[in-house]
A and B are shown apart, each in its own frame.
Chain A
């Protein structure tokens, strides 16, 4: 309960906490239990908040876990591709201004836009094969 209230009132959004904990686990050089994470965070978060975050990160596939004593010990998923794949969709996910910061190669299309685009690309393909300009 304590952890939950803290969860809601704390200013720091979940994504930032996850990144913080992820960085900590990456530099730890081995799996850490929630208790060890709390210790290394120097009491920034309560034990139950850390457990919540670690469980959620495990659910997202960002962390491996193995039983150690009564708790689990967590380590980052190390294979590059597997790790990054799960991260890609969650980058800045809980940020309201996510889209303004991530510069996407191809933006969303409406139906009309898609039709228009197909038309334009069809035209360039013809132009390209004929070798004629415009």
Chain B
């Protein structure tokens, strides 16, 4: 228990190392799967570890032991000192609260999106909106909608319309909102996993870009369409919303998501990276094993105390 219970808490510290490689060097569909999986599993495993540490401390509280008629364990098989358990308990409370809050909020937003989508007059899942500001997005729902403004259609040529549609439809058919939600849930429980969640919002765009490229057969053309749309949207977008979204990304010296997408499309396609995949999968697997081992240890301790 001593080491195993801490491992799921330490593993998320490794994430900054792998995130860049997975987001930039890996085939985006596989990258998205790996990043979401890591975020979700590491978030769950670290929360479980906090729970085990807290529980192990609880067993040690003398008046609780008296109340429950068990003997407090001898100090030598202390899995955790009481201050550690206390801290773990507080963190556990925070993690649970944030995760539940996130789930409720996201479920409501997705339900609102589905309702909005259902209310939209659409032809073949496409809603064309008479609006000069170039904008386009996929609205998840049952079924989802691709919403495109006439401004965006005027900006792009007919061949690029097909790219735009293929890109947005890929978001809907591959359920990208679910990958984003899974990764963000992990990050809500454990803030150390936020880089993973941020990376997933990028890799789903890459995934949709590559889907569009696969359907049109020309990655260079997709790169041009993405760049053109982004530049046009920038000229037109003077709403506070745009400015606000922009604040979150501002000047860190590294290029933003759109130039990186364009650069990736202009470079040769990325392969599946078997070694990177194996190493990445080892991390959540280790976290799960360690958490399981720690849970088993605690179970044994509780049994030895006669608690069941």
What is the interface of chain A, defined by CB distance below 8 A to chain B? 13, 15-16, 19-20, 22-23, 26, 80-85, 87-89, 91-92, 95-110, 112-114, 116-118, 120-121, 124-125, 127-128
Contact = CB atoms under 8 A, between A and B. Distances in A.
A92 B140 CA distance: 11
Given A103-B204, A124-B266, A98 B109 contact: yes
Given A83-B121, A92-B116, A105-B164, A110 B129 contact: no
B106 A97 contact: yes
B231 A109 contact: yes
B193 interface: no
Interface in B167-184: 167-168, 171, 176-177, 180-181, 184
Nearest to B250: A110
Given A19-B119, A80-B121, A128-B220, A108 B140 contact: no
Nearest to B197: A100
Interface string B136-152: 11111000000101001
Contact of B130 (A84, A101, A103): A84
B contact patch SS? helix
Contact of A114 (B112, B118, B231, B245): B231
B109 A108 contact: no
B127 A84 contact: yes
A115 to B, nearest CB: 9
Interface of B: 105-106, 108-113, 115-116, 118-121, 127-131, 134-140, 147, 149, 152, 164, 167-168, 171, 176-177, 180-181, 184, 201, 204-205, 208, 220, 223-224, 226-234, 237, 239, 242, 245-246, 249-251, 255-259, 262-263, 266
B116 A120 contact: no
Given A92-B113, A101-B109, 11 more contacts: A87-B120, A98-B109, A100-B177, A107-B230, A108-B256, A109-B233, A109-B234, A110-B246, A112-B255, A120-B227, A120-B259
A125 B223 CA distance: 11
A108 B242 contact: yes
A contact patch SS? helix
A100 B137 contact: no
A120 B266 contact: yes
B108 A121 contact: no
B249 A101 contact: no
Given A80-B121, A88-B135, A105-B164, A110 B256 contact: yes
B147 A88 contact: yes
A100 B102 CA distance: 12
Given A19-B116, A85-B131, A103 B168 contact: yes
A28 B118 CA distance: 16
A84 B127 CA distance: 8
